Amino acid sequence: MTPDQAQRCPCCGYASLRPCARAGRVLRYRNTALTLPAELRLPACRRCKYEPLGLGAVPLELLESLYRADLRHRAAVAIARVQGHRSQRRLELLINLSQGYLSRLRAGHGVPGAPLVSLLALLAAHPQLLGELEDYWTLPPDA
């Protein structure tokens, strides 16, 4: 197989894949869907518009930096929403976080884990769960 044939579009088989940049491309990475930067040039077919958007098409360093930035942003938004129902310190005590950690995350410092971001998102969407969580931790273990 010649190098020219290896570059042909696997979808239509006609045109060759050429790098192009465009906005609106989304790629699933770990537990989230990441929007790729508009200036990122990835191979695409000019005829049928096929784009091989796999994990091998995008540098892993870029994916990881986008993922970490997404976690930071999601955590900051969720903390701001929960703060309307409980103070940051009270929430830190409730979910066993060190003092000031939520403040650091809200300011964009540090990278939270996906489980913590998921918990904060659930508590932000359903603030009544804060009371249930407080009740749960005040009950004896066998109740």
DSSP letters spanning 66-135: HHHHHHHHHHHHHHHHHTTTS-HHHHHHHTT--TTHHHHHHTT-S---HHHHHHHHHHHH-THHHHHHHH
pLDDT of 116 above 70: yes
User: What is the signed CA dihedral for 51, 55, 60, 65, rounded to 10 degrees?
Assistant: 80
Residue 79 contacts residue 105 (beta carbons within 8 Å): yes
Among the ranges given (40-54, 56-70, 94-108), the one the predictor scored with the smallest mean pLDDT: 40-54
Q: Which of 125, 140, 133 has its CA nearest to residue 91? A: 133
Q: Work out the angle at residue 70's Cα, subtended by the Cα atoms of residues 69 and 75, and round it to the nearest 5 degrees.
A: 100
CB atoms within 10 A of CB 116: 17
| Average pLDDT of the segment spanning 68-96 | 96
| Average pLDDT of the segment spanning 123-139 | 94
Q: Is the pTM of this model over 0.85?
A: no
Which helix (H) or strand (E) covers residue 43, if one does? strand 41-45
Residues 53-64 pLDDT 10s = 888 889 999 999
> Quick one: pLDDT band at residue 143, thresholds 50, 70, 90?
low
- Calculate the average pLDDT of the chain: 91
